[in-house]
Structure 1
Amino acid sequence: MTEPVRIAVMGAADIARRRMLPAFAACPRTTVTAVASRDGAKARSLAHAYGCRPLHGYAAALEDDETEAVYVALPAALHAEWTRAALLADKHVLAEKPLALGRNETAELHDLARSRGLALMENVLFLHHSQHARARQLVRSGAVGRLHQFQAAFAVPRRPRSDIRYQAELGGGALWDTGVYPVRAALLMLGHPLRVVGAVSGRGPGDEVDTAGSALLSGPDGVAVHLSFGLDHGYRNVYEFWGSEGRLVVERAFTPPADHTPVLRIERGGEVEEIRLTPEDQVANAVTAFAAAVRGGAAPSADGLRQAELLDELAARR
């Protein structure tokens, strides 16, 4: 049996506590060696819960001989800095999205990982759910006729102003938080080329970051691509294909719980067909994929770099 990847968690963010730490602990291909935090009490609490060591400060995880990989769960503005430091310390890296706040830094990190023979994966969880491959196969087989438009939206209700998503110096804003999802969905579903045609963004009274955004892109074969995202909205989590003969809609597209039964809804000729799929744990799948990348020497995803390029273009139009 392959030796489990020994991974340290850097940061005590909500996603680390609620999703990733339980997934690391449950996966036979990973073992948690430590939790590193600037807050000693948080590190001790989480480390105790998972039977590992607390480390004070993020650098301690990079100096730890028992750790061969790190999971970077820090504010977006710190992802590139600590990913770079981890790679230079010869640690494999699973980093929260976005990997960096720009295309150039993303490319630099990809090149660094390749040059040192290290796994580098951006933690875009929905990529690891098979419902998307099924939806893409249905569209390619003609389920909606000739494809004219792809739409994707991910937006969440407003949180307290103290939340890091509303702090510019920490890389906050709708584009970097919820915007990654529809952008990556368009890449996953349509491939290349995708060209930004236009974009708009907005912010609420007193906000220092964008809290709403929408973009129009041109996709392969003239397919129109409409993407929406936000941090001050009624909840929406969906994408759809619209063709000459109907629509295919996927709800709960980006964050389905492990026990959620995916439903692909095809509306065609006045009739509705619902295709129900088996529930799947995309978080567990992502952890397994990262462990496989570490042991198999997988290179960073080229789509991750194209995602960064598109986000750069959208950021420039805010």
Structure 2
Amino acid sequence: MTDAIRIGLIGCSSIAARRFVPALAGSTARLTAVAARDPARAAAFAARFGAAATTGYRELLARDDVDAVYVSVPTGRHAAETTAALAAGRHVLVEKPLAVDAAEGAAVLAAARRAGRVVMENRMFVHHGQHRVAAELLADGAIGDLRVLGAAMAVPPLPAGDIRHRSDLGGGALLDVGYYPAHAALLHLRAPLEVVGATRRTDPRYDVEVGGAALLRDAAGVDAHLTYGFTHAYRSRYELWGERGRLVLERAFTPAAGWQPVLRLHRQDRVELRTLPAEDHFRGALDAFLAAVRGDAESAAHGARTLAGLALLDAIRAAGRRAGPQR
């Protein structure tokens, strides 16, 4: 492998252009090739970012100037394209979630072990320092013992033709935006997490859920209220509610690289506002992946958390279906 890890893109998505390629600047990797289902789209993307365009995903995997790939295709294709890349001997950073369910995710991770390659889910938000600060304050007793976690991620209604409305492409609000509050619970609560109940909101125009909520309980008896959806004003937040105060992050999951988060610490007689440094959590996730590829860090814990997240989403999905749809 050359000094710079050579990256190929499988999927010329908006997030690849807006966040992934800019994160490569100054990193120990460089973009060498891109592939899309539409050759014209790949050519335009490649010209924009100074890379080679290929006529398909398999052609990209056959190149000798690609050490690793970033997969940003529709969710329902994540597992298949990641497995193909692993079989071709490439390391893989794949957009979240790794797979549509825990069984599919476990198969991908097993393929990575057989191939001796790194596969990581791009769980970028956890690499932002605001979550470390929140965890440190909680551990230091700033709000006393934790009693409740509340987390929400939602976006305004999507266009009717958006691929996230298609079940055959792994669509639905749970996998897309429900992923974030579920992983906030995994980040701060004590495993195992029990899904006490869930709701699922549907729309007769689509065969996927457009929203929902879940009630969890952790091993210490802490409750978690999770809300997600495609039918709301934008929100990206979580709150840690303890016996003596609350910690609130309002831009918890999708802060821009230049955004300075403001952590609110609510106590009985005052509210403290702490402005935290701006960070590019996408760059943080990329650096963690590159460290694992170089052998400077292990990825087993990341894989275990990936499977825990998929299992939790499976349990929320099942509980929501038992409760029946809301319209």
Same-fold status (TM-score > 0.5)? yes
RMSD (Å), alpha carbons: 1.3
Structure-1 residue corresponding to 2:307: 305
Cα-to-partner distance string for 1:175-221 (whole Å, 9 max, x where unaligned): 01001111111111124121111111112342221111100111131
Cα-to-partner distance string for 1:42-79 (whole Å, 9 max, x where unaligned): 10111011111001111112111111111110000000
Structure-2 residue corresponding to 1:243: 242
Structure 2, unaligned runs of 5 or more: 322-327
Give the letter aligned to residue 8 of structure 2: A
**How high is the TM-score relative to the length of structure 2?**
0.94
**How high is the TM-score relative to the length of structure 1?**
0.96
Structure-2 residue corresponding to 1:17: 17
Per the alignment, in what secondary structure is the counterpart of residue 294 of structure 2? helix
Give the letter aligned to residue 312 of structure 2: L
State the Cα distance separating 1:113 from its structure 2 match. 1.2
Structure-1 residue corresponding to 2:148: 149
Per the alignment, in what secondary structure is the counterpart of residue 200 of structure 2? strand
Cα-to-partner distance string for 1:254-278 (whole Å, 9 max, x where unaligned): 0111111111101111310111211
**Does the CA-based 8 Å contact 1:199-1:314 persist in structure 2?**
yes
Q: 1:245-260 counterparts in 2 under 5 A?
A: 245-260=244-259
Q: Distance in 2 between matches of 1:260 and 1:22?
A: 16
**Does the CA-based 8 Å contact 1:114-1:299 persist in structure 2?**
no
State the Cα distance separating 1:28 from its structure 2 match. 2.9
**Does the CA-based 8 Å contact 2:190-2:220 persist in structure 1?**
no
**Does the CA-based 8 Å contact 2:71-2:94 persist in structure 1?**
yes
2:138 is the counterpart of 1:139: yes
Structure-2 residue corresponding to 1:98: 97
Per the alignment, in what secondary structure is the counterpart of residue 157 of structure 1? coil
Structure-2 residue corresponding to 1:49: 48
- Percent identity, please: 47
Q: Distance in 2 between matches of 1:143 and 1:299?
A: 31
Structure-1 residue corresponding to 2:280: 281
Per the alignment, in what secondary structure is the counterpart of residue 278 of structure 2? coil
Tell me the matched-pair count.
316
Runs of 4+ that moved beyond 4 A = none
Structure-2 residue corresponding to 1:79: 78
Structure 1, unaligned runs of 5 or more: none
Give the letter aligned to residue 267 of structure 2: R
Q: 1:260-279 counterparts in 2 under 5 A?
A: 260-279=259-278
Structure-1 residue corresponding to 2:184: 185
